[in-house]
Amino acid sequence: MSDDDLSEVYLVVRAEERPAVELALEGLLPALHSSFPAVGRGRGGGLRSQRPARFWPFGRPPAGEFLPKIVFYLVVPSSMVDDLVRAVTAAVCAERGDAEHGLGVVFVSPILRETAIVGARPARSAAEVSP
């Protein structure tokens, strides 16, 4: 892994953890990130495994449900991924502890190529270059 290697990181966390994660990210990288509202569920199948029974409607576990999540999408140097995961994990678990399920998951993939969209508009065809 060289210093130039980039990784894309998907942070999938509970929607209500958005401020905590944003704070953690700000402390680590002033760079931009994107976030998207989403819904999701884990291996256990959603609320059934992620919320105490007192939240079950009519005392019964709901089935097939999805929970509000927020997905942060970041591209960072690969050397920063471990710090990033540690910071986010600490931020989320600081509020929730590690007893509750459904705190989220982080996926990391290598970026193969990066092209900045800056400067002059590239020519669309040879004809456009030489009229």
Residues that bind other proteins (CB under 8 A): 7, 10, 12-13, 36-46, 64, 66, 69, 71, 81, 85, 88-89, 92-93, 96, 98, 100-110
Give the residue from 108, 105, 106, 107 showing the smallest Cα distance to 78.
Answer: 108
| Contact indicator for 74, 26 with CB cutoff of 8 Å | no
Provide, rounded to whole angstroms, the least separation between the CB of residue 130 and other proteins.
28
Provide, rounded to whole angstroms, the least separation between the CB of residue 31 and other proteins.
20
Q: Which is closer to other proteins, CB of 97 or CB of 119? A: 97
Give the residue from 34, 26, 40 showing the smallest Cα distance to 105.
Answer: 40
CB-count exposure of residue 14 (10 Å: 0-12, 13-18, 19+):
buried
Question: What span, in angstroms and rounded, lies between the C-alpha atoms of 38 and 36?
Answer: 6
Q: Which two tokens stand for residue 76?
A: 């960072």
Q: Which is closer to other proteins, CB of 25 or CB of 102? A: 102
Provide, rounded to whole angstroms, the least separation between the CB of residue 61 and other proteins.
14
Provide, rounded to whole angstroms, the least separation between the CB of residue 120 and other proteins.
25
Q: Which is closer to other proteins, CB of 99 or CB of 120? A: 99
CA geometry: angle at 73 spanning 100 and 106, to 5°? 35
Q: Which is closer to other proteins, CB of 31 or CB of 86? A: 86
